[in-house]
Chain A
Amino acid sequence: MSATLERAVISPPRRRGPRIGRRVHPYLLMAPALLLVAAVSFLPLGQAITQSLHRSNFLDLGEFVGLLNYQRFLFSEAGVARAWNSLVFVIGSLFVAMPLGFGLALLLNLPLRARWLLRTVLILPWLVSNTVAALLWAWLLSAHFGPIAPVFAMFGVVMPNPLTSETLAMPALILCNAWGAYPLIMVFVLAALQTIPTELQEAARIDGASSWQRFRYIVFPLVRNTTLVTLVLTTLHTFNGVSIVLIMTGGGPVGVTDVMALRVFEEGFKFYRMGLATAGAVVIFALNIVFTIVYMRVLRGDGHA
């Protein structure tokens, strides 16, 4: 530092370049990022809204039809069923992934042997793409070639093929999705748990708090916000995800796993009904915002308590 100062004092001021070149233009520096983001996020969002209000002729805008596409996507008989399927998929996944991720975080926070190994193994599903996860689960659950069916057979139960069974298809999707989703919850909650000073728990123990009380009144309040964040992330990830459903069931059998995101994908890239697809896309985007706001309300509302 002193050398720098010395040089600054001793050496004569250097010739500086033209003033324009030396000035920093923060707007200019932000422009490429903003333009790119606008072109890939805002522009298509605007186009989706426009397209969704018109009849479509492949990529060309047809006549203006108002909210007809929305009505067909959301309020037709299939639309209501599909919204319900999405809800079941999301809530089911949360019910499996949240306790699993949270519980494993608590577990990994204990003094276990080979913790780093457990951690590495348990994070693995996070590294696997949804495409590959769906493929591997479909193969694992196969009633003809998978290793699960023989276990049932030992008890004399013939396992139906879950992916073509009306009752088991959705649970199979939920299982696969929760498998890929729990590590994120685990990692986030574990990170939060590790910021809790041990003294806090020790003090409570000395004061006679049971382990449940310590969890309820010390640990949980301190990881609550993190948990809610993972709840939002898992909800959105499940709700917006296409590939697991596309690969495992394709929406079948008889539409019991037909979820909104898959429908947008198929209307767009299979049937090329762009009006319907973009209406669905706008609905999904709106619901993303609604989910986030609702969760944030909950998060902020009780945050002070």
Chain B
Amino acid sequence: MTRRRLPPLASCAAHGAAMLACAFALLPVLWGLSTSFKFAGEVHAWPPSWLPATPTLQNWKDAVLDPRFLRYVLNTLFVVGVSLIISITFALMAAWATVRFHFRGREVLLLVMWSTIMVPGIAVVVPLYGLAVDVGLYDTLWAPALVFSAWLVPTLVWLLRGFIAAVPAELEESAQIDGCTPLGAFVRVTVPLLWPGLVAAAILVFVMIWNDFLIGYSLTLSDENRLVQVGIYAFMTETGVEYGPLCAAAIASIIPIVVLYALLQRYFIQGLTGGAVKG
């Protein structure tokens, strides 16, 4: 890409606009960060100051090391793990079947599956609650895990189909000549080549579940089954909420996602744009 230099005035304006936009993007996060390092007295001081007078780590200790918060994080990771296994396995099977084989009704079945991407969470959450109660999964971590898996499968099928189609079928065929079953050939030859797609898929799974509020709130009840966002909401609605620890917990909940983004930018964008529809 050839890059022209901007004329000085335009360059100044462009950089200025970019700085303003960055300020807008960072403002709420920086304010929360600032609050998270303040003592309770200073949190409620007037006029408020951007820099804590006497910075403290107490809020972070209180929030992040709170056994309840750790529990929420572990719960969320458990749900992510289960959903990863279910959704990626199911999606790989369906994606492979529809890429490599021609069969009657293939397009229709794919369309039926993809049409569910259009069903918003809020439209089904009330019946899902009833369903979870009926089958006895209400207030267990399996209920959100199954719902997330189902929501992710269509997108992952779409994402992984592209990656599978990019692997020549001849590779699988030659493995079959060597004695693999077709499925064995897929698992041994193609799946290891799919890792960029699988990384993007895993990121999508993680972000969707980590940032979810609706399903976590409606399908679990007891404190021991809470997911991260619901936990933060609970901290917030408790009586006598303290903003210092609350902000620390909120900022802490952003960190894993930011770190993942920093490490895996390309796959991250791929996964996130792939999952942009379901919100």
Tell me the A residues contacting B by CB distance below 8 Å.
1, 4-5, 7-8, 14, 17, 21-22, 24, 26-27, 29-30, 32-34, 36-37, 39-45, 47-48, 51, 59, 100, 103-104, 107-108, 110-113, 118, 120-133, 135-137, 139-140, 144-147, 150, 153, 179, 184, 187-188, 191, 194, 198, 202, 233, 236-237, 240-243, 247, 261, 264-265, 268-269, 274, 277-278, 281-282, 284-285, 288-289, 292
A269 touches B217 (CB 8 A): yes
Q: Which of B86, B126, B151, B174 contacts A277 (CB 8 A)?
A: B126
Tell me the B residues contacting A by CB distance below 8 Å.
1-6, 11, 14-15, 17-18, 21-22, 24-29, 31-32, 35, 43-44, 46-48, 50, 86, 89-91, 93-94, 96-98, 101, 103, 106, 109, 112-113, 116, 118-131, 133-134, 146-147, 149-151, 153-154, 157, 174, 177-179, 181-183, 207, 210-214, 217-218, 229, 232-233, 236, 243, 246-247, 250, 253-254, 257-258, 261-262, 269, 272-273, 276-277, 279
Chain B residue with minimal CB distance to A110?
A: B14
A48 touches B123 (CB 8 A): yes
Distance from B74 Cβ to chain A, minimum over Cβ atoms (Å): 18
With A36-B86, A281-B125 already in contact, 11 other A-B pairs whose C-beta atoms are closer than 8 Å: A34-B94, A37-B150, A42-B116, A44-B127, A45-B123, A127-B207, A130-B213, A146-B48, A153-B47, A179-B24, A289-B118
A129 touches B253 (CB 8 A): yes
Q: Give complex CA distance A34, B93 in Å.
A: 11
B269 touches A187 (CB 8 A): yes
Q: Which of A7, A122, A240 contacts B21 (CB 8 A)?
A: A122
Chain A residue with minimal CB distance to B147?
A: A40
Distance from B133 Cβ to chain A, minimum over Cβ atoms (Å): 6
**Given A37-B150, A130-B211 in contact, is the A137-B28 Cβ separation under 8 Å?**
yes
Q: What chain A residues lie within 8 Å of B129 (beta carbons)?
A: 268-269
A147 touches B131 (CB 8 A): no
B233 touches A247 (CB 8 A): yes
Q: What chain A residues lie within 8 Å of B90 (beta carbons)?
A: 32-33, 36
Q: Give complex CA distance A118, B123 in Å.
A: 37
Q: What chain B residues lie within 8 Å of A41 (beta carbons)?
A: 116, 119, 124, 150-151
**Given A128-B254, A288-B120 in contact, is the A243-B276 Cβ separation under 8 Å?**
no
Interface centre among B119, B147, B273 (most CB of A within 10 A): B119
Q: What chain A residues lie within 8 Å of B121 (beta carbons)?
A: 240
Interface of chain B: mostly helix, strand, loop or mixed: helix
Q: Give complex CA distance A242, B233 in Å.
A: 13
**Given A4-B178, A26-B98, A153-B47 in contact, is the A122-B126 Cβ separation under 8 Å?**
no
Q: Give complex CA distance A44, B121 in Å.
A: 11
B124 touches A40 (CB 8 A): yes
B31 touches A242 (CB 8 A): no
A127 touches B232 (CB 8 A): no
Q: What chain B residues lie within 8 Å of A289 (beta carbons)?
A: 118
Q: What chain A residues lie within 8 Å of B106 (beta carbons)?
A: 26
Distance from A75 Cβ to chain B, minimum over Cβ atoms (Å): 19
Q: Which of B124, B149, B279 contacts A237 (CB 8 A)?
A: B279
A145 touches B43 (CB 8 A): yes
Q: Give complex CA distance A202, B1 in Å.
A: 12
**Given A121-B25, A243-B213 in contact, is the A36-B128 Cβ separation under 8 Å?**
no
Q: Which of B29, B218, B273 contacts A124 (CB 8 A)?
A: B29
Q: Which of B1, B35, B93, B116 contacts A30 (CB 8 A)?
A: B93
Q: Which of A27, A59, A131 contacts B232 (CB 8 A)?
A: A131
Q: Give complex CA distance A8, B94 in Å.
A: 29
Distance from B162 Cβ to chain A, minimum over Cβ atoms (Å): 16
Q: Give complex CA distance A42, B117 in Å.
A: 11
Chain A residue with minimal CB distance to B133?
A: A59
A179 touches B127 (CB 8 A): no
A40 touches B128 (CB 8 A): yes
Q: What chain A residues lie within 8 Å of B119 (beta carbons)?
A: 41, 45, 285, 288
